[in-house]
Amino acid sequence: VEWAWGGFSVDNPTLTRFFALHFLLPFAIAGLTLIHLTFLHESGSNNPLGIVSNCDKISFHPYFSLKDILGFVLMLLPLTTLALFSPNLLGDPENFTPANPLVTPPHIKPEWYFLFAYAILRSIP
């Protein structure tokens, strides 16, 4: 732990080391990803079981692309309908009461460290 911290407690060397780690780690991950893609490009994707399975394959573009677009449209259509035609359907009923700027609602109280100022404000008519 002292090696990672750079001393007995968390201090400036700790922050420097962890900043360097968090700065360099994405570059290391990107490098390992490129190495992985290079090996995958050279040897191809292998089946770990060794079983040849050339049956039941569907091409990605016409099938899955249309399936994803259809799912997106089917999820966006009700959301758009709700937002455009009845935007207040899921709102809180208290939002429809008219506000009175001269009266503070009774359930609103400040934090304890502002109570002295709140008491002064309430004492002024």
Question: Which residue numbers are catalytic?
Answer: 41, 45, 67-68, 111
Phi, psi of 50 (to 5 degrees): 80, 10
Alpha-carbon span 121 to 125, nearest angstrom? 8
Longest dimension (CA), the chain: 86
Number of H helices, E strands in the chain: 5, 0
